[in-house]
Structure 1
């Protein structure tokens, strides 16, 4: 990074059409990590795994926390997929989170140089937190609010979340990129992760058919190593263990060229999630901080 933010964003970001294959990690912030912890983890994300981005998950409502995210990302050469978190309990706290994020984006001189996109999520359509027409209106209002910063806006969602709302074409039309939850473990046809490619392609094809050639990212994307109350399969044949978690990412690596050949320069993907202490079963790291399996995903092909 330069010693101080440039005067403008001209030629700052790589073109999105150059983004495909592994891009980075989802990173849960419910713990309101300290500045030192953020810096340590973001350095690992960037240097160990050659990540471009961190995609935030969950919410920390501590004043100034997003500024800490910005500083850690700036210092480690990472972009951020920011998130307006609705949560699972209803209510309108998301509005306060939206306003707090937007205030930070406008006031922090580094924020627009690390914030690649703002996401509404996670799974607001599937969770029915807003009618899709209202969600589309929120996206449009956010785009207007952030237009001077040139920060795009999207929704982080399952294909099924759109489908169960009649396609929610108004949301698909409003968003700048398509940010997809790809969780084939929950398919009724799921078995082992090495057989998941047709399930991945079925969801991708739905977005291809309805997304007007917009750039696609698989952001909440993975296969669990354990089941829990919130992680239960819909297929009796679905297997949750570490070899299958590893195998899913190997599957994406094996199909790197297939992902690259999609519209707008291909499909980029995130690993969900950085550590099991953030969301049990999905982490690349275990609770004890050890890698659960060798993880050196392809960043190009």
Structure 2
């Protein structure tokens, strides 16, 4: 599975190209959206590209980082597209509230729970489930926010072990991954789990800085992290709820530096064909 960052506001032609690559060459089955493009009709283009390339989509209500209320407009625009586009309900495999609304204190757990429940009611006739895109600490800093977890249909987990205080190299990151995963297993009550914002950066820059002096960011470690997940395929598969699915955080470095499977010029940074079964 792959994330598609939307800050570039791709044209339908570009979406078709990227989704075709994601489906055929990785090969992914789902795309998780990250960021926002407020161009009119943009989600309809997402639906068209996903439909044509047999991909499911984790859609997104993007809060952003400016503290504004534009997320409400984005929510309403997305819901209108889901109800009015006849293809949308077939490719949209979930709607996320994100990114990290609890960690960023965008909404209180009570208000976020209200939003999740309202979205579920709005989308019930379409059978589109609803989730929140958040890391373990976002819940933990809010006393566990069990009401938010309970309201979700499935759970999207941010898994970014590079930022852990005990991080070093990606090939040693499984105990960090397992630590957060076990927290969600304990509190998720058997719901399906996904690692959605998931990866290891190949570079550092302001905003992407480690909390451990031993943490290494380079292409070798970015690749090693996904190899680590493949090596623990059987561990992920046996988790309650049907196993843990995972996404690569970003499609290309021109969308968010360091996390892309492709570099700025569109070339693959490393071979990327994750296991789809084990």
Q: TM-score range by the shorter chain?
A: over 0.9
Instruction: Report the equivalent of 1:84.
Output: 61
1:151 matched to 2:128? The reply is: yes
Q: CA deviation at 1:294?
A: 1.1
CA-to-aligned-CA distance 1:226-251 (integer Å, 9 cap, x gap): 00101000001000001000000000
Map 1:94-105 onto structure 2 (within 5 A): 94-105=71-82
Partner of 1:16: none
What's the C-alpha RMSD, in Å, of the aligned pairs? 0.5
Instruction: Choose the corresponding residue for 1:173, options 150, 154, 157.
Output: 150
Name stretches of at least 5 consecutive residues in structure 1 with no aligned partner: 1-23
Deviation at 1:50, TM superposition (A): 1.6
Give me the whole-angstrom Cα distance separating, in 1, the residues matched to 2:161 and 2:86. 39
2:92 aligned residue:
115
1:251 matched residue in structure 2:
228
SS of structure 2 residue aligned to 1:248? helix
Greater RCO, 1 or 2 (C-alpha within 8 Å, sep 6+):
1
Superposed structure 1 runs of 4+ greater than 4 Å apart: none
SS in 1 for 2:251: coil
Q: Secondary structure at the match of 2:261?
A: coil
**Mapped partners of 2:177, 2:238: distance in 1:** 15
| Deviation, structure 1 residue 193 | 0.3
Identify which of 168, 182, 192 aligns with 1:191.
168
Cα separation, 2, equivalents of 1:203 and 1:91 = 30
Task: Return the match for 1:275 from 249, 252, 275.
Answer: 252
- Distance in 2 (CA, whole Å) between partners of 1:58 and 1:192 is 28
Q: 2:110 is matched with which residue? A: 133
When normalised by structure 2's length, the TM-score is 0.99
Which residue does the alignment assign to 1:297?
Answer: 274
3-state SS of paired residue (1:155): strand
Partner of 2:159: 182
Aligned twin of 1:21 = none
**2:3, 2:186 → 1: CA distance?**
26
Q: Deviations over 1:182-222 (max 9, x none)?
A: 00000000000000000000000000111111110000000
Name the SS of the counterpart of 1:274 in structure 2. strand
